[in-house]
Every structure is written in C-alpha cells, then in structure tokens.
Amino acid sequence: MNPDRAPSLQADLISKSFLSGLIRVQVLTRLSLTVMPAELTLIVGPSGCGKSTLLSIVSGLQNADEGRVIALGEDLSQASRSQLERFRLHHTGFVFQGFNLFPALTAREQVELPLSYLRLPEHEIHQRAHNALDEVGMLSRADRYPAELSGGEKQRIAIARALAKSPQLLFADEPTSALDAANGQAIIDMLHRIAREHGTTVLCVSHDPRLVRHADRVLAMEDGVIQRDWRDPQLHPTTEELVHV
C-alpha cells in the first residue's frame, strides 16, 4: 500500500443480521476493510456469504447493526438519511447486473437524468453525457432506447450514467453476469480503465472468474468475514479456489 495515498473507503468492525421468519441470520460479523483509490477491488465468495450486503453498507444504501463506515473521510454510520442521499448523489456511482435503465428514455437521456439532480447548467449536462457516452463507445447509439440495445450495450450505458457524475466511488454488483464472454471482457476492461485513468475507487462484487485476473486486489469472503486478501497479481490463486458458483 502506498503510504502517500489515503484510503477512500473503510469499514471498521461492521456486523449485520436479518430476520428470516423467527430466526435471525448473521450476514456480516465484525468485518473490517480498507479500500484505496485508483484500484479495482474485487469481492468474491459463495452465494449468501454477505458480498452484496457488504457492498450495500459501504455505499450507504443500508446501515450496519454495529461498526462504522468511513467514505471519503465522512462517517456514514453517523449520517442522516438526507445526508446519505446527498453523499450518494455527489460522490458515488452504481452499476448493477440488471442495468436499471428506464424503457422510455434514450441512452442519452439515461445518462443526463442523474446529472439533472445535481442542478448543473444544461450545457454542462449535455457535455458530460456526450463525453461519458463517447468514453464507453456508445455515442453512435445515444438516441436508441433500451429495447434497441444488446445486453453489452445496456451495461455500457449504465457505466456511462455512473461515469458522467465523475464519482470518486464506483460500486458494481455482478456487472458481467448477464453478459456473454466478449461483452463481459469489455466491461471488465472498462471498469479497470476507469479506476486507473480517473483515480476512481471501484469496488466490485462478482461470481465471474474472468474478473479475478483483472483486479488490483481480490478479497475472498465466506460466512460474513473476509478470509483471504490478495493484492499482488503474482499471488492470486486460481479461479477455482476463489470463485464459488
């Protein structure tokens, strides 16, 4: 870890449980995590181990039962709902497995919509959307609706929508699982490039074994805790050891 860089994201001893009928299920148990900027950090592990719950908590979408989350120097565990909403709006981007596109909006409108919530001048909204669509190779498809786009193109639009906000934190939940090999590879490369070129902290949850060799860091979760942590690519285990489908 470069001592000159400050962590962009920290989780300190966070725990989370949910009620399932009459039984309380412990999902995360006193988990601690530090994530650095300009890196693609990948979280892998079997279904139900707490990966998506961890992503949801560190992104401010839900609260932990115990512990705290420090994001960009702010203690999210002490923030009100309105403060969390404002933090997510200004500092975070999200990419999901299901794309989360609006059927009635064109690709360009999908990207411009969250920018309008930032109350930016109209010319800046158009320019940011143009630049983001161009960066993901979708400028020529900017006036197409989701029904006219392939799965890979939809995910590129979702990435452009997140990228246009210039987020310092980008969270991706299973971003390639709905895509074929070629499109999945393109999305992985794109996320890695965003981390390196924009200095963005990219935290990704995935079952996709293709992501392992592209990540700067791989965290293996099991039973609500991080069992293994690899940063040096030379030390990455095989995908069979890391990824449980």
Give per-residue pLDDT as tens, 73-91.
999 999 999 999 999 999 9
Q: What is the pLDDT of residues 122-147, one digit of tens each?
A: 999 999 999 999 999 999 999 999 99
What's the pLDDT at 212? 83
Percent of the chain whose pLDDT exceeds 70: 93
Kind and range of the H or E run holding 192:
helix 181-198
What's the pLDDT at 210? 74
Residue 98 clears pLDDT 60, i.e. is over it: yes
Domain assignments of the chain as residue spans, ordered by start: 9-242
What's the pLDDT at 117? 93
Residue 238 clears pLDDT 50, i.e. is over it: no
- pLDDT band for position 233 (50/70/90)? low
Arithmetic mean of pLDDT, 177-187: 86
Of the candidates 154, 166, 200, the one whose C-alpha atom is nearest the C-alpha of residue 40 is 200
Name the pTM for this structure: 0.89
What's the pLDDT at 6? 85
Question: What is the number of H-type helices and E-type strands within the chain?
Answer: 7, 10
Return phi, psi of residue 187, to 5°. Answer: -70, -40
Arithmetic mean of pLDDT, 159-166: 96
What's the pLDDT at 177? 85
Determine the Cα–Cα distance for residues 238 and 182; give it in Å rounded to an integer: 21
What's the pLDDT at 88? 94
Q: DSSP of 119-138, one letter per residue?
A: T--HHHHHHHHHHHHHHTT-
What is the topology classification, in CATH, of domain 9-242?
Rossmann fold (3.40.50)
- pLDDT band for position 243 (50/70/90)? very low
Residue 185 clears pLDDT 80, i.e. is over it: yes
49 DSSP 8-state letter: S
Arithmetic mean of pLDDT, 2-26: 86
What's the pLDDT at 232? 52
Q: What is the pLDDT of residues 19-64, one digit of tens each?
A: 888 899 999 999 999 999 999 999 998 888 899 999 999 999 999 9
Arithmetic mean of pLDDT, 160-175: 95
Strand order in 40-44's β-sheet?
92-96, 169-173, 201-205, 40-44, 217-222, 225-230
Beta bridge partners of 235: none
| Count of other CB atoms within 10 angstroms of residue 87 | 18
Arithmetic mean of pLDDT, 182-205: 92
Mean pLDDT of the chain: 89
- Rounded (10°) angle between helices 151-163 and 181-198: 10
